[in-house]
Amino acid sequence: MANANFCDIIKNLFVELGYESKDYSYVDKGDTILENSFFARDLFRKNYYLVFFLSNDNKIEDIIKNQAKYFFLLKEFFGEDPDIDKNTSLLICIESSNENNKLSLNIEEDAYYFKKYVLTYSKEQLTSFITEYNSLIEEKGIKNVLEEIVNNVQLFEVFKLDPDINSVYKLITNIFIKIPILKVPMNEEKTVYSLSEVIETSLKNKELLNLKEKLDYLRENKIEDDTLLESLIELYKEEEVD
């Protein structure tokens, strides 16, 4: 595991989750986007993932343009189960130092062929994760280590102060979010925290919390439609002045 790359980690994680992993790159060896890609399937639960790995986000839109081809190649080579049609998710893993949230959202909102998840990670996060947790992974497996990290109260408190920090904890939380079959284990000793708390901290750090509170006021007081737009414009002007 010391020399593992992100593909190895994700592939081994799916195996530990009970999925059978099949190479997908051979379905079109001339397509460089498919390098290291694999198809993971849980035949018992009728659940499937097509997983791609990109070294940057330059080709992510090409995946969307070619998704019909990838879908029908999937059907051609692995389509013995009719549930593949409606139960296959596309997971796109991208190595990048900067998260392009707008691009990721646009991809994930695309409703054609697959349900889509974009998992961005940095080289620094990956290196830190492997360096710090290699021996523990060898002992307990990736799934158990991820669960221990996401349940670590101290790591969460640091992350809560700055959700945008390029940390191992942020990487692990992204993995849990983008691979929803991976469930956060319940820990009775852990202080329960909410996603809204993290969002609020992030907004505060970006000096957007004041605007959120004003928008909440408009929503809670049920401002009429004919004055809502005017109110939003005034809010925008106030923020520009501030």
**What's the pLDDT score for residue 232?**
47
- Confidence band of 231 (pLDDT split at 50, 70, 90): low
Q: Are 137 and 145 in contact (CB under 8 A)?
A: yes
> How far is the C-alpha of 155 from the C-alpha of 160, rounded, in Å?
9
Q: Answer yes or no: is pLDDT of 210 > 80.
A: no
Residues of the chain with pLDDT > 70, as a percent, come to 74
Start-to-end C-alpha separation, the chain: 50
Residue 214: its pLDDT value, please? 53
DSSP character at residue 25: G
Checking if the pLDDT of 22 tops 50, the result is yes
What pLDDT, on a 0 to 100 scale, did the predictor assign at position 136? 94
Sequence-distant (≥ 6) Cβ neighbours of residue 190 within 8 angstroms: 151, 153
Query: How far is it, in rounded angstroms, from Cα 235 to Cα 218?
Result: 10
**pLDDT given for residue 16 in this prediction:** 96
Tell me the C-alpha distance between 95 and 222, whole Å: 43
Query: 84-93, 157-166, 181-190: which has the minimum mean pLDDT?
Result: 181-190
87: helix, strand or coil: helix
Q: How many residues does the chain have?
A: 242
The pLDDT of residue 104: 84
CA atoms of 223 and 229, how far apart (whole Å): 10
